[in-house]
Amino acid sequence: MDGQPEPVRGRLQIFQKMEKEPQARDGSPVLEYHAALVTGDLEHLKPLMDKFFQDANVVFEIKKDEMVWQVKSPATFGLSGLWTLEYKRELTTPLCIAAAQGHTACVRHLLGRGADPDASPGGRGALHEACLGSHTACARLLLQHRADPDLLSAEGLAPLHLCRTAASLGCAQALLEHGASVQLEGGTSRDTPLHVAAQRGLDEHARLYLNRGARVDARNGHGETALSAACGAALRPDEHARCLRLCTLLLRHGAAADTRDEDERSPLHKACGHARPGLARLLLLHGADARALDYGGASPLARVLQTAACAPEGEPQLTVQELLNHGSPTVWPDAFPKVLKSCAAVPTVIEVLFNSYSQLRVSESWKDVIPEEVFQMHQAFYRSLFALAHTPRCLQHLCRCAIRKSFGRKCFSLVPLLPLPESLQNYLLLEPEGVLH
């Protein structure tokens, strides 16, 4: 009939300019259709599909301008770079849009209209989008309509690899109930889902995967096990407890505490690099080698000393204590001034390390490597340090060193067995006191 609108076929093009509303080349129905999908407006979506978009598998072509930071050579643009305007093009489907936003009713309607649950013109399918957004109801609905639980994206990632937040646990459970594999390696780094969970400190995800048969010591493309990946993850302080539970879980399932990655770094190297004493203690108690060296010749102790000044709130002195009480060699005496220079702002680290020597000759020249404001802030400690330039260590300290030498790498377990007050046990275990004697 002449008065009836023609159904829309082919790609639906939308143009987005920076900080502006999208503009549709094909007219307002396309823009309204896109807006209804994004907002989950099912009442508006239904008549639009009836009138213009009977094919639920049409492809949106979204073109937009974005500002992108480009690093350039210092000779051309100085030390930083410049912002450039780049044209980007994205292909997607109505189902992918609705699933990404978590609009279950819209997803159900589109599937009822024949939408292909595995269509992925832009590289990711609707199930990928649902998992990435932690939308469990959408993920279950797609799986019930036979979406492939192991469909790989253009980046080689399965939906399970995109369960990256605590809120996505329901998505992971749904995927496994529908046959998703916990052994799939994904992307250029060849991470398994267990690696992904470990990198983000997701202990409940890890428990789920291990109970489904995930290999606890599977290695990714960097030679990392899940334990190694967890110890190397840069997590927020409020996530540390969850990560500790995760590592405990992995070790209980048989994870090797002393594996090495492609750089010969152990999980202990990585935990020490982030100055996480609880994690270092856990690894040491499960047999991690405090003397291990990576390809660069760095020990776990060297790793914590390298980062101590960057994260003093992580109490790096506790990690140094753990290592020394488990047999880590101390720093070569000639290198102590370098440690003093890098860790001057964390005098507790200097104190614990200094007390691991029976006698270390103090030089007045060391004052030159300590910033004046740091010296003034920690004056009591540094005055006690330089006072030792003219006197030997006290007899109590020499007795401590003799006992520690006798106990060797078993200090952590033997000292608490001594019939001594807790204060003396702490002294033997290098508990800092704020000054040196």
What are the strands of the beta sheet with 12-16, ordered from one edge?
23-24, 12-16, 60-71, 81-92
Is position 23 within any domain? yes
CATH for 126: 1.25.40.20
3-state secondary structure of 84: strand
Q: Which residue do the tokens 């080698």 mark?
A: 289
Q: Which phi and psi angles does 226 have, rounded to 5°?
A: -60, -40
Report d(CA 95, CA 389) in Å as an integer. Answer: 74
Q: How confident is the model at residue 77 (pLDDT cuts 50, 70, 90)?
A: very low
Is position 379 within any domain? yes
Domains identified in the chain, total number: 2
Q: What is the pLDDT of residues 46-59, one digit of tens each?
A: 999 999 899 999 99
DSSP secondary structure string for all residues of 148-211 = -TT---TTS--GGGG--SGGGHHHHHHHHHTT--SS--BTTTTB-HHHHHHHTT-HHHHHHHHH
Domain boundary among 130, 155, 180: 155
In this structure, of 68-77, 130-139, 221-230, the range with the lowest mean pLDDT score is 68-77
Domain boundary among 111, 136, 155: 155
Is position 221 within any domain? no
| 183 backbone φψ class: left, alpha, beta (φ>0; ψ -120 to 50) | alpha
Q: What is the pLDDT of residues 186-245, one digit of tens each?
A: 999 999 999 999 999 999 999 999 999 999 999 999 999 999 999 999 778 888 899 999
Is position 269 within any domain? no
Q: What is the pLDDT of residues 101-112, one digit of tens each?
A: 999 999 999 999
**With 70 as the cut, is the pLDDT of residue 4 above it?**
no
3-state secondary structure of 431: coil
Is position 234 within any domain? no
Report the range out of 4-8, 114-118, 233-237, 306-310 with the highest average pLDDT: 114-118
Which of these, 101, 180, 105, lies nearest to 141 by C-alpha position?
105
Average pLDDT over residues 5-15: 64
Question: What's the confidence (pLDDT) of residue 345?
Answer: 95
Is position 112 within any domain? yes
**With 90 as the cut, is the pLDDT of residue 63 above it?**
no
Domain hosting 24: range is 6-74+82-155
**With 60 as the cut, is the pLDDT of residue 163 above it?**
yes
140 CB-near residues (< 8 Å, 6+ apart): 174
Q: pLDDT higher for 77 or 180?
A: 180
Domain boundary among 155, 180, 206: 155
Report d(CA 248, CA 253) in Å as an integer. Answer: 9
Report d(CA 185, CA 181) in Å as an integer. Answer: 10
149 CB-near residues (< 8 Å, 6+ apart): 127, 143, 158, 159, 160, 175, 178, 179, 180
Average pLDDT over residues 27-40: 88
The mean pLDDT value of the chain amounts to 91
CA-only gyration radius of the chain, Å: 29
Report d(CA 400, CA 429) in Å as an integer. Answer: 9
Is position 182 within any domain? no
For residue 229, the one-letter residue type is A
Is position 167 within any domain? no
